Amino acid sequence: MVTLTLLEKIYGLEEDRSFRSLQKHLSSFSSGLEAKIKVLGKTEQNWIQVEVSGSDSVVATNYLNQMFGLAPSSLEELKVQSELQGKIVDSGKIGYGLYVDVGVSASKKRDVLVSLHVLRKQLFEDEKLSIRRIIEAFCLHDNFPLRIKMTRIAIDKSEMEAELSEAQLTAFKNWVSLGLDRVIVLGASPEQIDYAIKKSGSKWDVIRVDRLGFFECSIICKLGTEAPGIISRLGNLLEGVPLYAFSPKKIKSFLKK
């Protein structure tokens, strides 16, 4: 029997429903194994903790690592150039970059800095945009799942820095080049979102819903449909769930200046 911390967070107004959704998914996976995966709860930083038991626990653990990622237990486990999945925290509270929580378990909160300089260089060809504009353009708000590559680790100072991984950059570039608006949903399952889309009459304005994390999704709008219009329709049906508009047109306008 082993307790693991997944690189997925549970948060928001309907935590009980989210826990049930996750437990149902994990139970479905483990039904063909001699293993049981039980959702225990969450850490102080909202990371999900599970208990794995049974003779196939190694197989189940490998699946959890591939599907969600497992949180490092200490700074010593992190290496420069290694890639990690994390969640943005305290978005917009500092002017010199973004902090990403990668689940390091320690007595003191330890987050990774992606500096403003790095974000400008990787996302906007060194255009001198403020961190707030970058956050708004790419919807880099709290709990957005971000794939990063470690560039500096100073264990003695508990300082860590990173850049966006190639996979993350490619995803963002594809979003922009596709030219379609998106609604970024932070804190709802695809099932909840599908229900809200149908109930609001937005079905014919949406191509599909992509999962970014287990409880974070991207609604891809059809050509000619703008994200703010979809947000206005879904707001009452996803009350309390943050919804953000991603606009390739707006991002391209920044690059032309």
Residues of the chain with CATH 3.30.1370: 2-67
Dihedral angle over CA of 222, 165, 75, 144, nearest 10: -10
Query: Average pLDDT per run of 10 along the chain, which is 257 residues long?
Result: 92 82 87 88 91 92 91 84 94 95 76 96 93 96 96 82 97 97 94 94 96 95 97 93 96 79
Amino acid making up residue 22: L
Residue with tokens 């200046």: 257
Q: What is the pLDDT at residue 28?
A: 87
pLDDT in tens, 21-36: 899 989 888 888 888 9
Which stretches of 68-209 are DSSP H helices? 116-124, 131-138, 166-178, 190-199
Residues of the chain with CATH 2.40.50.140: 75-171
Fold of the 75-171 domain:
OB fold (Dihydrolipoamide Acetyltransferase, E2P) (2.40.50)
Class of the CATH domain delimited by 2-67: alpha beta
Residues of the chain with CATH 3.30.70: 179-255
Residues 136/124, Cβ–Cβ less than 8 Å: no
Q: What is the pLDDT at residue 179?
A: 96
Q: What is the pLDDT at residue 72?
A: 86
pTM above the 0.85 mark?
A: yes
Q: What is the pLDDT at residue 157?
A: 64
Q: What is the pLDDT at residue 109?
A: 66
CA pair distance 116, 126, nearest whole angstrom: 10
Fold of the 179-255 domain:
Alpha-Beta Plaits (3.30.70)
CA pair distance 205, 203, nearest whole angstrom: 5
Q: What is the pLDDT at residue 182?
A: 98
Q: What is the pLDDT at residue 91?
A: 96
